[in-house]
Amino acid sequence: MNLRILGAHGNEAKGSRLTSLLLDDVLAVDAGGLTASLTLAEQEKIRAVLLSHHHFDHTRDLVTLGFNAALWDGRVKVYALRETLDVVIPCLLDGKIYANLREYPSKERATLQFETIEPYKEKDIEGYRVLALPVKHSVPTVGYHIASPRGGKLFYTSDTGPGLAECWRHVSPDLVICESFLPDSMTERAGRVGHLSPRLLKEELVQFRQLKGYLPRVIVIHLALSHEREVGQEIARIAGELEGDISLGCEDMEVAL
């Protein structure tokens, strides 16, 4: 599996993009900075998008992808929880703010095609084995454990607060992509609003190692621009304490699994 981190941030300014991953050029996971990161030729290769939850920093470029795909008469499958689609479709895609992407360019040949996913039920999506697992965020959210037909397994937590032990029981990743949106000085707030600080992340990773007997490589994304330096220093510290391969992700970073 080849992973490309398209967007590694939870907010946006020049040089940063909103959260989005791309696997083997064909499977996107969240769509915050999706089209902003890719040429049209690269976008044309995308077969499916998995959405973790409805927040704008994870869904925004679904609008522009759906619009662009009409250029090559494309079809992109969009997978998400029912609760996520129930927000994303009426708020972003039904024609109020842009094209009606449920019926664009026509009702018969819409570029975006929606399918609900159910937690704990593994599903074959474009040859990938995909397992959606609920995480503890402020709105219904799933992380995704994804095994590539080309080899390699990753678990993407999406936005989450503490309490990943139930997820850890169901996964066996080579790589964990997780978040640490706020620094240790804001740990109480992070937990309250469904995010992690490095200190909270360390507790989750200690539990992972206790349950699974190993610690995979960990890449931390969904960074907050104003706190990135501080979080980076704290992540480096917990990497040392856990003697693990734990580091910050960044835009356009590629990882081979």
Cα–Cα distance between 86 and 70 in angstroms, integer?
Answer: 23
Burial class (CB in 10 A: 0-12, 13-18, 19+), 29: buried
Size of the residue set binding Zn ion (CB under 5 A):
4
Q: Tell me: does residue 179 bind Zn ion (CB under 5 A).
A: no
Residue 2 backbone phi and psi in degrees, to 5: -110, 120
Shortest distance in whole angstroms from residue 250 CB to Zn ion: 16
**Residue 243 is which amino acid?**
E
Kindly indicate which of the ranges 42-50, 143-151, 154-162, 166-174 contains the residues binding Zn ion, using the contact rule CB under 5 A: 154-162
Q: Tell me: does residue 30 bind Zn ion (CB under 5 A).
A: no
Kindly indicate which of the ranges 9-17, 73-81, 104-112, 199-207 contains the residues binding Zn ion, using the contact rule CB under 5 A: 9-17
Shortest distance in whole angstroms from residue 239 CB to Zn ion: 23
Q: Tell me: does residue 159 bind Zn ion (CB under 5 A).
A: yes
Distances (CA, A) of 181 to 88, 160, 161, 187, 200: 23, 9, 10, 10, 11
For Zn ion, the closer of residues 17 and 55 by Cβ is 55
Which residue in 4, 54, 55, 199 binds Zn ion (CB under 5 A)?
55
Residue 202 token pair = 């360390």
- Interacting residues with Zn ion between 218 and 247 (CB under 5 A): none
Q: Tell me: does residue 57 bind Zn ion (CB under 5 A).
A: yes
> How would you classify the pairing of strands 76-80 and 112-116?
parallel
Cα–Cα distance between 25 and 48 in angstroms, integer?
Answer: 10
Q: Tell me: does residue 204 bind Zn ion (CB under 5 A).
A: no
Please name the helix (run of DSSP H) or strand (run of DSSP E) that holds residue 48, with its range, or none.
Answer: strand 48-50
For Zn ion, the closer of residues 10 and 198 by Cβ is 10
Residues that bind Zn ion (CB under 5 A): 10, 55, 57, 159
